[in-house]
Amino acid sequence: MTSESRQVDTDPDCLFCKIVAGEIPGDLVLTTDHVVAFRDVNPVAPTHVLVVPRHHRPDAAATTEADPEAVGRLVAAAAEVAGREGLSDYRLVLNTGPGAGQSVFHTHLHLLGGRELAWPPG
């Protein structure tokens, strides 16, 4: 992927861009100027929320390259959602690339909680 293609703010074919834009409904739990958080449609834990930046980047590496503070905003938003959900223990996951389990290529942070989570994951 070229650096130029990594700098696109939205992708008209991206599911998460469509949720961020309100074109596709999502079970939103938090919206800010920088991020949108919504419940995963295929949860693997009682609390499974995806936190996505409003700007489209394919993965965490591209997001960090374009905006070094963006991942920190994702983590801060996830912590806020965890507090609202009553979670004191939770897991944050960023998958980068298909080999790591990424299936939607718009940076997203998984917030998982509400049950005992095994280690190592996967």
Q: Per residue in 10-37, pLDDT tens? A: 899 999 999 999 999 999 999 999 999 9
Q: Supply the pLDDT for residue 67.
A: 94
Active site residue 48: no
**CATH fold label, 3-113:** HIT family, subunit A (3.30.428)
* DSSP labels, 41-108: SS-SSSEEEEEEESS--SSHHHHHHH-TTHHHHHHHHHHHHHHHTT-SSEEEEE--SGGGT--S-S--
What pTM does this model have?
0.91
Q: Supply the pLDDT for residue 9.
A: 87
As a whole number, mean pLDDT of residues 73-87 equals 98
Query: Over the Cα atoms of the chain, what is R_g?
Result: 14
Q: Does residue 74 carry a pLDDT above 60?
A: yes
Active-site residue identified among 55, 56, 106, 108: 108
In 1-122, where do the E strands start and end?
A: 28-31, 35-39, 47-53, 90-94, 109-113
